[in-house]
Amino acid sequence: MKLVKKYFVPVLVGVITLTVILIVLRINNIIPVSKTVITVFRLISVALLFIYAFRKRSLTTWILVSMIAGAEFGYDLPAVAGKLQVLSEVFLRMIRTIIAPLLFSTLVVGIAGHADLKQIGRMGWKSILYFEIVSTIALFIGLLAINIGKAGVGVVIPANPGAPPVTNISTQTTGDFILHIFPENLAKAIYEGQILQIVVFSIIFGIGTAIVKEKYRGPVLRFTESLAEVMFKFTNIVMYYAPVAVFAAIAYTVGHMGLDILCNLFKLLATLYVALVFFLTFVLLPVAIIFRIPVIPFIKAVSKPATIAFATSNSESALPSALESMEKFGIPRKVVAFVIPTGYSFNLDGTTLYLSLASIFVAQAAGIHLSIDKQILICLTLMLTSKGVAGVSRASLVILMGTVSSFGLPLEPVFIILGIDVLMDMARTSVNVIGNCLATAVVAKWEGEFDEKTAREFKLE
């Protein structure tokens, strides 16, 4: 048994490596490898990964293994995988029930429990300043990437893309954006998943609680503290279902679209992924180093929420996990509860990068040359129109349609993007979550409330 434990990981790595080699040999026609042989090796690799997950007993490991198993299942049994979406939808519904009470309770406790309203104001302007600087950099990285890669040049637009007509797409004005911040009805905001409106209500409620007499503040604080603790436990229970939801989401995506779609629009996908990796490496990583945030422990802390976001293509699904992970990473609850939800509307790094890239792709595919000043104007417009879309899966596609329409660009190339939007959404959503988690650590450092010892001792569950 000891020998099995000792050599299990090397065997696992060896089998996976051999499987990849066999796939490469077959694809490039170097050696005529049987499809059956490759399938057997793929299944053995997945089985060994499941054994590894059982041994590790880590939720993050289970989620990662479920992604791989889901892709294998979707590829081998696409008809069955196409019916599994309901399993991932159950997870998303349960997560949506958590969001409003969790945000409300943690924000009220964070504000009224400390009664330091000046700090809330400081965190507010520091967060917004950081959000706008980083998201603006993301916009221009996307602009630079698509102009260098020219993924849209030479694309042939089908005469009939087969996409349904898009109606009632309107550009969001400054007035619309300001009104969108403030809730007209709390129940409606919760029903529609308007995170920013819930945050605004909770902040004002927390301020109101902080300035009333102790005999009124005490009962509210005890209730909200209890509610926050219960909702975190509720989150832990729901998260045990996450591997099943991730498996179903990936299986459905691969089974519904197939892996061939990657080849058809590989250049556009590659441009986005390279741009996002560049943004992570040369923007977010230097920010973490400058603010002296432990990089390796931070990567461990964001791995679970980022993986969930990637698999479900939904930032909202990763919100409870992100809140919990950042708190365990050594950031006070009052900072976590304020910065991350606010970032869901103002700090969409992955989405803003994608939107600038995709809008110029549309022009390139349509054969329309846009001057640099026109491209910059589109980016400035996207800075406004992109706010508040992170919680809605693939809502950025609607924002893209509205933006290209307002600049007189055709919608047909957008329908080409629609074919692989789910694959693009996975990456940009993950970057949204990572960016918001880093913003929380930065603001905590800025406020002098970052517990570096706890951060360095962070361990995966």
| 136-188 per-position pLDDT tens digit | 899 999 999 999 988 877 665 544 444 444 444 445 566 776 777 788 888 88
* 3-class DSSP state of 312: helix
Asked if 316 and 96 count as a contact pair (C-beta separation under 8 A), the reply is yes
d(CA 132, CA 352): 11
Candidates 370, 317, 325; CA nearest to 344 is 317
The mean pLDDT value of the chain amounts to: 81
The answer, yes or no, to whether residue 245 has pLDDT greater than 80, is: yes
* Contact criterion met (CB below 8 Å) for 61 and 52: yes
pLDDT level of residue 130 (50, 70, 90 thresholds): very high
What pLDDT does 166 receive?
Answer: 43
What predicted TM-score, i.e. pTM, was given to this entire model?
0.71
- What is the DSSP-derived secondary structure letter of residue 185? -
* CA dist., res. 175 & res. 45, Å (int): 54
CATH superfamily of 116-171+239-250+257-456: Sodium:dicarboxylate symporter (1.10.3860.10)
Among 47-61, 282-296, 325-339, the range of highest mean pLDDT: 282-296
| 367 vs 144 pLDDT, higher one | 144
Query: Mean pLDDT, to the nearest integer, of 242-254?
Result: 83
Span 287-303, average pLDDT: 94
> Among 46-50, 233-237, 387-391, 429-433, which range has the highest average pLDDT?
429-433
Domain map of the chain by residue range?
2-57, 116-171+239-250+257-456
